[in-house]
Amino acid sequence: MTFKAAAVQMCSGVDPAKNAASMMHLVREAAAQGAIYVQTPEMTGMLQRDRVAAKVVLRDETDDIIVRTASALAAELGIYLHVGSTAIALDDGKIANRGFLFGPEGKILNRYDKIHMFDVDLDNGESWRESAAYRPGSEARVLSLPFAEMGFTICYDVRFPALFRAQAIAGAEVMTVPAAFTRQTGEAHWEILLRARAIENGVFVIAAAQGGLHEDGRETYGHSMIIDPWGKVLASTGGTGEAVIVADIDRTAVKAARDKIPNLKNGREFSIEKITGAVVGGVAT
């Protein structure tokens, strides 16, 4: 009922080959510490704000260097390797922000395309329009693995609790949140969002993050974390830069948390009515 999981923190640049080499080094380090499941961050293969330059090096998944490298690495180490996401060229000219889970034989066991697009304007002047280049996914999955029932999300998905709740109700015991959170939003919300998703669903949360000042000028928050179903932080990098964190995932903790607070079972359907402030029957509403 227990397995060792790792989250790999990176500071990916604009060259996919260099990022693949960094991924190999860090994943090997995680495996050497006994992890059988290893997760890398969102956009493991490249962080590049210049979309014209990015499209020059993007490939479909059959020719993507991160996909090829991860497949071989999973087989070499005999682990489950979760590439949190990487940019994949699509036939319609759009890009998929796509995560992959590779099994110990190097085969792709699951794909997940990020559902919620990061279209925001921040106080510090940062403006992001992910939907301008990326095609959102539309399917969530819970994957049955020998060691856990696993659900998949990416970064901005963490702000949409219904996605986590649906996967928890479908049986997920571990939720994955690879990310490239901005420094500003990370400082404000990263830990509290991850812990909230763990607590309200009684699940482990594994969140490998990008962390540091990147070649394209953006700054990401880092602080990769592994959190238990009671909201306790089991491991954290505590900052930015390349790092590996490892924690033991005890599946009995999921049942224990859900037995104490059975909110997944106690949820009820309800209607909602918007009240406009009109007077009904002489009583202000």
Catalytic residue annotation: 42, 114, 155
Structural tokens at position 181: 């959170």
In which element (H, E) is residue 259 found?
Answer: helix 252-260
CA–CA gap between residue 205 and residue 228 (Å, rounded): 7
240-276: burial string, b at 16+ Cβ within 10 Å, e else: bebbbbbbebebebbeebbeeeeeeeeeeeeeeeeee
Instruction: Find where tokens 């700054």 sit.
Output: 219
Cα–Cα distances (Å) from 266 to 1, 142, 201, 223, 260, in that order, read: 26, 21, 12, 33, 12
Which amino acid would we find at residue 29? Answer: E
The answer for residues whose C-beta is within 8 angstroms of residue 96's C-beta and 6 or more apart is 87, 88, 90, 113, 134, 135, 137
Report DSSP state, residue 132. G
Instruction: Find where tokens 């260097």 sit.
Output: 65
CA–CA gap between residue 184 and residue 28 (Å, rounded): 31
CA–CA gap between residue 73 and residue 24 (Å, rounded): 7
Which amino acid would we find at residue 191? Answer: E
CA–CA gap between residue 201 and residue 164 (Å, rounded): 7
Question: Is 156 in contact with 116 (CB distance < 8 Å)?
Answer: yes
